[in-house]
Amino acid sequence: MMGAHDLRAIAFYLPQFHRIDENDRWWGEGFTEWTNVRRGRPQFAGHYQPHAPGELGYYDLVDPAVRSAQAALAREHGIHGFCYYHYWFNGRRLLERPLDAVLASGTPDLPFCVCWANENWTRRWDGLEDDILMQQVYNLQDSRAFLESLLPLFRDPRYIRVDDRPLLLVYKAALIPDVAGTVAVWRDAARAAGLAGLHLVACETTGKSDPTRFGFDAGCEFPPHGHRPVPLNGEMRMINRAFRGMVTSYKSQVVQSLQRALPAFPLYRTVMPGWDNTARRQDGGTIFVGSSPELFGYWVERTAAQARQQHAGDARLMFVNAWNEWGEGCHLEPDARYGRQYLQALARGLCA
């Protein structure tokens, strides 16, 4: 039996569960991610929607008791820490209050890192650039300012490091015009600040090219990106005749992940408990059917075994997409249907 302690499992964490003025303006008074979640409707017979939260309820991340309860649940089930999505637009930050409060208060005592969510914010949830609400403009001066803005986080003793180097993920590195130059600026700024360096990771959200060519240390899988669909629409008894999205197989996602040939570059493996973004996308969503705590636990167990083989020491990491992506049907947090079963499956899989 292996112990979860020899492998650090990190869960991606969405901070959009509190009000901000911008969302009030763009989406309506009181908007949070829960607004989307409550809109979920079954698209076909037997479709699990809406996803209703379990023991944590429709929480507000401004409340420190909520953040403490999340951390306790995560720790109890073998999660080493959270990877917070970090929204920086040329000096302007969005959804920053939860992580700022974690930093200022020193609680909860759970390790964390950040993933720069560097996409434009648009009127569309699918990322199409048709109506830009908040634009990302890239230049090397801003790249230095971005890295320097992260230094208070990097210096926190809870911040996750690999060989004493702060771990920084980038959601869509391919969007950065001069990505190699940007990485060089980041590394220079880190050295100038007295850090041992950076451990830079590019998420596989726009293909599977080698990120080390641009100066990154590793890549990170990001399912369901890269999934080869097994279309199942024709097998469903549709309730919503206007549905034009895709129904595909969760089991096929698991098989494709476990059969993936290892690339030449270092790659962190990632699992997901499920995926169904119809709450956000309505008629145009993608739905993975066939997820269960048992199948998820099997995926965790096999992926953890691969991660232990592929990596050593501090770099023995794996990721989970996600802790609380409720609008994408992709959450470890307990829901009304399964309770803690997915968390328990994760804990068993990590220790198998």
At 5 the pLDDT is: 60
- How many domains does the chain contain in total? 1
At 3 the pLDDT is: 53
At 137 the pLDDT is: 96
Return the structure tokens found at 205.
């959200």
Tens-digit pLDDT profile for the chain (352 aa)?
355 568 999 999 999 999 999 999 999 999 999 999 999 999 999 999 999 999 999 999 999 999 999 999 999 999 999 999 999 999 999 999 999 999 999 999 999 999 999 999 998 755 455 789 999 999 999 999 999 999 999 999 999 999 999 999 999 999 999 999 999 999 999 999 999 999 999 999 998 999 999 999 999 999 999 999 999 999 999 999 999 999 999 999 999 999 999 999 999 999 999 999 999 999 999 999 999 999 999 999 999 999 999 999 999 999 999 999 999 999 999 999 999 999 999 999 999 8
CATH number of residue 260's parent domain: 3.20.20.80
C-alpha distance from residue 306 to each of 106, 260, 268, 301 (Å): 34, 11, 10, 9
At 1 the pLDDT is: 39
At 310 the pLDDT is: 96
For the chain, the three-class secondary structure string (H helix, E strand, C coil) is CCCHHHCEEEEEECCCCCCCHHHHHHHCCCCCHHHHHCCCCCCECCCCCCCCECCCCCCCCCCHHHHHHHHHHHHHCCCCEEEEEEEEECCEEECCHHHHHHHHHCCCCCCEEEEECCCCEECCCCCCCCCEEECCCCCHHHHHHHHHHCHHHHCCCCECEECCEEEEEECCHHHCCCHHHHHHHHHHHHHHCCCCCCEEEEECCCCCCCHHHHCCCEEECCCCCCCCCCCCHHHCCECCCCCCCEEEEHHHHHHHHHCCCCCCCCEEEEECCCCECHHHHHHHCEEEECCCHHHHHHHHHHHHHHHHHHCCHHHCEEEECCCEEHHHCEECCCECCCECHHHHHHHHHHHC
Q: Whole domain around residue 37: which residue ranges?
A: 4-351
Residues 6+ apart with CB under 8 A from 125: 277, 280, 281
